[in-house]
Structure 1
């Protein structure tokens, strides 16, 4: 199984940072993605980042890269996790929203089981967990481009809020980074054990 990790946004993406500028989503997501890939590889899993560039790669190009791998090795042999930080405002002021959540495309899809495994790993942390259980599972659903236009099961994680002071302090701490990385690694491995 090929595990693809996407790190959200790029250095040239407007906004996407904490109000004080200490956390920039593109940089944080890349650091976490690199560590997730490294940890998966240490455990013998085939993992890679789909965006290694610093600049923002378009969503259509990200999807093209994923789908090219799906076409080459088979869609059933690929999963995608896209790593982001959430925001409640426009980045100009601190907000109160907190927590961790995961998104899949709308409806019952192959990604729901992957999201379930990520949620179970997240529930082992002290995070507030943000869910939508109206369809019987915890993931939030939406028409997010990278989830809709990739052929393989795909989940987008929102790892706490970049405009909440407490969340940012945790995210930037070594313990926080380790927790976010571990959550993803554990969730992905637990999913791979089920297929």
Structure 2
């Protein structure tokens, strides 16, 4: 109860009346998404994550805003909104969570001066924080973009280590497709290049590109609090429901 009260207090303090409204919306959305049925798997509940701490990484932050949409949407802010909602939904089901950041800041050391130094320090510190948490499971939240075209859309889940993370990545991709975008044909995939955080953590880890900021329609959705909550509920569903065995 104290843990739940703490979560409610943090939300209330950050968003006043919106905090309570978002909390209730998250609960309602999660119940709908996690209801057993042909399109969404049966919810296993907190037992699915027993002994595991879900580390929620809202990508970028502070001077490093990440991608920016043509309309001016800054990725770091969207990442944080989804991360906060995911923390709330998982908390409603009793899961242990850690947010790497709870505000729009970089996690760099004070001695870092240039933007390059700050970004490098920020990433090293994120790795250290994840590695210090026993039995961690990392979900890193980001937004995609494609320079020169606004036609690409849809969430996609990536992983670095296939053995520990590919099944969860595929499961999460399927939940996102079923719950939010049935026409999305993207598949979970191994990261095509080096991503420092994902390459240096030793726990199971997935990186979720929730949508394309370069697509005007999806950009508008990603700015919408209700859609952010649906994204968070879908991600929670993926984490709280059994991951299908390979070939199942």
- TM-score, scaled relative to structure 1: 0.82
Asked if the contact 2:84/2:102 (under 8 Å) is kept, the reply is: no
What's the counterpart of residue 68 of structure 2?
17
The correspondence for 2:229, drawn from 178, 183, 192, is: 178
Structure 1 range deviating more: 50-59 or 155-164:
50-59
2:186 is the alignment partner of 1:130: yes
Structure 2 CA distance for partners of 1:15 and 1:84, relative to 1, 3 Å: closer
The correspondence for 1:40, drawn from 73, 90, 94, is: 90
Where do 5+ consecutive residues of structure 2 fail to align? 1-51, 108-121
1:153-193 CA distance string (max 9 Å, x none): 11100011011101011112233212211121111112579
Structure 2 CA distance for partners of 1:179 and 1:110, relative to 1, 3 Å: same
What's the counterpart of residue 65 of structure 1?
129
User: What SS class does the counterpart of residue 178 from structure 1 fall into?
Assistant: helix
Structure with a larger share of its residues in strand:
1
Tell me, in whole angstroms, the C-alpha distance in 1 between the residues paired with 2:128 and 2:143. 23
User: What SS class does the counterpart of residue 13 from structure 1 fall into?
Assistant: coil
What's the counterpart of residue 136 of structure 2?
78
Distance apart, 1:130 and its partner CA: 1.9
Tell me, in whole angstroms, the C-alpha distance in 2 between the residues paired with 1:61 and 1:85. 21
User: What SS class does the counterpart of residue 156 from structure 2 fall into?
Assistant: strand
Distance apart, 1:141 and its partner CA: 2.7
Asked if the contact 1:4/1:47 (under 8 Å) is kept, the reply is: yes
2:173 is the alignment partner of 1:119: yes
1:117-150 CA distance string (max 9 Å, x none): 211211212252422xxxxxx3233332111101
Tell me, in whole angstroms, the C-alpha distance in 2 between the residues paired with 1:51 and 1:18. 22
